[in-house]
Amino acid sequence: MDAHPKHDTYDVVIVGGAMLGSSTAWYLMNNPDFQGRVLVVERDPSYEMCSTAHTNSCIRQQFSNEINVKCSQYAAHFIKNIREIMGDERVPELHIQSYGYLYLAETHAFADVLRANLKTQVMAGAGTRLCSREQIAQDYPFYNLDDIVLGSHNKVDEGYWDGGTVFDWFRRLARERGAEYVANEVVAMTRSPGGDRIDSVTLKSGEVITCGSVVNASGPRALRTAQMAGLDIPVEPRKRYSFIFSAETPLEQELPLTIDPSGVHLRQDGPKTYLAGCTPDIDPGVDYDDFTMDHAIWEDKVWPAVAHRIPQFEAIRQVTSWVGHYAYNTLDQNAIIGAHDEVGNFMFLNGFSGHGLQQSPAMGRGMSELLTYGGFQTLDLGDFSYDRIRRNEPFLERAVI
């Protein structure tokens, strides 16, 4: 990847070239109605520490807001039809490992939340069903369910998928169709004399690039990017821990992505390996470069929770582990997409709070529509607009993992 752009002016400058930035670039370059020039600026061309590289690559429709369900439904359609949609025979056929998410409720209050969410999901066309303790035991006899009062499960287009391959093809085809990627960093932005637009961005290498629009697709670094334009956004990096483990006695059937009341989630990862993840009990914002593993989390939280829920997993061995960052929206844990209300050509694509990979097809398409037509053309993503941030009116998503 070159470090220096070929031109000094672009119609769209995308700050961040990981999953959401590359999705936007591909949708723009794939749209015959868009005739502009696109520059994608990526500070780390290895993508080693970005959220995309640390994702657990899961997809679900069990949300509390209908629009989040719709975003995942479009992602499922995209994944299963990727070769046709991308229009290139080199793109591999993909599928979803639809083991489903299984939410377990140990309190009647959370059971009521699952019942309320079910109504939203069913109205949106999801295949979610509620399960009694007896029904769960019949389908999955390996669980300890003594403390469980209700479950919620959906095996239709819920599970995990090959997000890395989708990212590779977003980026590859965006470049082949004309988007320019540079290994560089935006370090400053200049606003117009009236302050209502961004006139240019300055790169770390010194170039000043005139731009028609700027897209903030910088993941956990969203606030830093916004501050270059003199703007604010309630997004910060928060650590999320993932562990791959093997079991001395593997299960004889596939393990759904189980959302345990302890705050630990686990799922099948391979024929004889499993993935567990969790949020730390104390969950502050962290430094952008802090990926230090807290090994006590495995011993003190994950292993006990796994062994309690699946007694057969009392004898397990950690294979590997990693730390990733959520781009956490502290207001309502939902995405922010669209223009700033005063700086009209500064576009937010931020705050996905762990949902970014599965929402990237819908969000990249939506952002490309805003940039091309000035409004959403397919799926109305208006609930995610910046206006609610300015008004401090949360559009709360209750089903956050």
pTM for the structure as a whole: 0.96
Mean residue pLDDT of the chain comes to 96
Confidence of residue 398 (pLDDT cuts 50, 70, 90): confident
Q: Which residues contact 292 (CB under 8 A, 6 or more apart)?
A: 323
Q: Give the per-residue pLDDT at 309.
A: 98
Using alpha carbons, list the distances in angstroms from residue 79 to 52, 166, 250, 270.
Answer: 16, 8, 29, 20
Diameter over CA atoms, the chain: 68
At residue 53, the pLDDT reads 84
Which pLDDT score, from 0 to 100, does residue 147 have? Answer: 98
Looking at the chain, the whole-number percentage of residues with pLDDT higher than 90 is: 95
How far is residue 170's CA from residue 205's CA, in Å, rounded to a whole number?
A: 26
Count CB neighbours of 149 within 10 A: 16
Residue range 9-58+163-234+331-391 in CATH 3.50.50.60: yes
Location of each CATH 3.50.50.60 domain in the chain: 9-58+163-234+331-391
Give yes or no for a contact between 155 and 60, defined as CB atoms under 8 angstroms apart.
no
- Encode 178-205: b = buried (16+ Cβ within 10 Å), e = exposed: ebbbbbbbbeebebeeeeebbebbbbee
- Whole-angstrom distance between the N-terminal and C-terminal Cα of the chain? 35
- Which position has the token pair 């694509």? 349
pLDDT tens digit sequence for 158-211: 999 999 999 999 999 999 999 999 999 999 999 999 999 999 999 999 999 999
Whether the pLDDT of residue 141 is over 80: the answer is: yes
Instruction: Give the pLDDT band of residue 230 (cuts 50, 70, 90).
Output: very high
Query: Where are the CATH 3.30.9.10 domain residues in the chain?
Result: 98-158+236-327
**Measured between alpha carbons, how far is 96 from 68 in angstroms, rounded to an integer?**
18
pLDDT of residue 338: 98
Give pLDDT, residue 400. 79
CB 31 within 8 A of CB 300: no
Task: Average the pLDDT over 68-86 and give the result.
Answer: 98
pLDDT higher than 90, residue 256: yes
Whether CATH 3.40.50.10540 fits 98-158+236-327 = no
Q: What is the mean pLDDT of residues 57-85?
A: 97
Tell me, what's the pLDDT at 399?
A: 79
What local confidence, expressed as pLDDT, does residue 253 receive? 95
Residue 249 makes CB contacts below 8 A (sequence gap 6+) with 312, 315
Return the axis-axis angle of helices 108-123 and 66-80, rounded to nearest 10°.
Answer: 60
pLDDT of residue 127: 96
